[in-house]
């Protein structure tokens, strides 16, 4: 039988059944083929921006501004136009017995969506005073969730208020649709840390105050730091008069050089609860373009509970 003379009527039942069975077998097998895995785009950018940047981008309909100050009356008294208040403490809670751990991806996505953020948003985050850590923490979580264009207001609310107008009006917006595209490349787990301690080329940075780093304050189950970690308190990156404003990048580079930290290192930043670490993560990875910088989110809150892991109280001498 030629192709031109083909007809379903010419097929006998056994051959017809075989042909139909072969067709359905092919259709059923298609979903079993390997499918591409969707992941967050690694080209995310976090930048520190000036109040002038805010004015220049204020009319962008895709710009969402998050005021992450923790005291609601601060926001009610005055804020950037169109800013949505979502306290940075809202992004963390208990997890498997540990306090102040980041919420799971579903809950993070809901928080961002209710703040009006979508997957196509550009987001500016700001806070005030020493809570620059809250601003960088939320910026980090946005990158971790797959967003690409993220900014932190350099100088915070105080810096903006001194040079521009603020408002008491609450913004009007629709709840966004935000799907978290998890980016695991920005962080390490406890199991990763176990394997990385003492490994050549790996450098742990601890941004906590010196007394906590040396274990001189009795806060955790065990006090001290990860062996080999280099102590660079986060405040050393900030302006003396405004702890929400960065020092010059040249000054920060010198601080890092004094601690023998170079771009070629595999850098892990671990602090008390995973919040302080986000400032140095943003600076090293996004402003100084160090190629491999990650955060140990569990930080000392988790590490100190692992009694099989070593603890140091003296910083190793650098050669």
pLDDT recorded at residue 34 = 30
Residue 180 CB: number of other CB atoms within 10 A? 21
Is the pLDDT score of 146 beyond 70?
Answer: yes
Q: Rounded CA gap, 55 and 130, in Å?
A: 24
Q: Rounded CA gap, 299 and 77, in Å?
A: 35
Q: Rounded CA gap, 247 and 276, in Å?
A: 17
H helix intervals, 228-276: 249-258
Q: What CA–CA distances, in Å, run from 23 to 15, 18, 19, 217?
A: 12, 9, 6, 71
Please give the structure tokens belonging to residue 284: 């090293």
Q: Write down the mean pLDDT value for the chain.
A: 89
- Percentage above 70 pLDDT, the chain: 87
Q: What is the pLDDT of residues 174-205, one digit of tens each?
A: 898 999 999 999 999 999 999 999 999 999 99
Q: What is the pLDDT of residues 252-300, one digit of tens each?
A: 999 999 999 999 999 999 999 999 999 999 999 999 999 999 999 999 9
pLDDT recorded at residue 2 = 43
Please give the model's pTM, rounded to 2 decimal places: 0.87
**All structural domains of the chain:** 45-182 (3.40.250.10), 185-303 (3.40.250.10)
Beta-bridge mates of residue 204: 268
From the candidates 108, 271, 282, 293, which is the catalytic residue? 271
Least Cα distance to 206 among 93, 295, 285 occurs for 295
Q: What CA–CA distances, in Å, run from 17 to 4, 9, 22, 28, 232?
A: 21, 13, 9, 16, 74
Is 271 an annotated catalytic residue? yes
Q: What is the pLDDT of residues 11-43, one digit of tens each?
A: 444 443 444 344 333 333 333 333 233 444 468
């Amino acid at each position: 039988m030629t192709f031109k003379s083909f007809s379903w009527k010419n097929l006998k039942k056994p051959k017809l059944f075989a042909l139909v069975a072969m067709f359905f077998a092919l259709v059923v097998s298609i979903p079993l083929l390997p499918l591409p895995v969707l992941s967050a785009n690694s080209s995310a950018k976090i930048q520190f921006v000036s109040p002038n940047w805010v004015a220049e981008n204020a009319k962008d309909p895709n710009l969402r501004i998050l005021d992450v100050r923790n005291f609601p009356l601060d926001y009610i008294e005055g804020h950037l136009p169109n800013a949505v208040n979502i306290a940075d403490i809202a992004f963390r809670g208990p997890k498997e017995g540990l306090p102040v751990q980041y919420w799971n991806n579903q809950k993070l996505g809901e928080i961002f969506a209710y703040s009006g953020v979508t997957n196509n948003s550009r987001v500016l985050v700001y806070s005030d005073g020493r809570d620059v850590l809250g601003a960088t923490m939320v910026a980090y979580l946005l990158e971790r969730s797959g967003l690409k264009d993220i900014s932190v207001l350099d100088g915070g609310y105080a810096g903006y208020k001194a040079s521009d107008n603020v408002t008491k009006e609450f913004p009007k917006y629709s709840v966004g649709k935000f799907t978290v595209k998890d980016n695991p490349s920005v962080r390490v787990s406890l199991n990763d840390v176990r394997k990385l301690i003492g490994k050549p080329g790996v450098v742990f940075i601890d941004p906590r105050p010196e007394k906590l780093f040396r274990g001189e304050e009795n806060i955790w189950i065990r006090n001290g730091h990860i062996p080999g970690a280099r102590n660079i308190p986060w405040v050393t990156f900030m302006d003396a008069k405004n702890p929400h404003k960065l020092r010059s990048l040249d000054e920060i580079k010198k601080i890092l050089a004094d601690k023998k930290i170079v771009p070629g290192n595999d850098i892990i930043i671990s602090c008390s609860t995973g919040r302080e670490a986000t400032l140095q993560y943003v600076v090293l990875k996004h402003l100084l373009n160090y190629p491999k910088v990650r955060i140990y989110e569990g930080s000392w809150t988790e590490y100190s509970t692992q009694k099989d892991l070593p603890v140091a109280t003296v910083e190793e001498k650098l050669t």
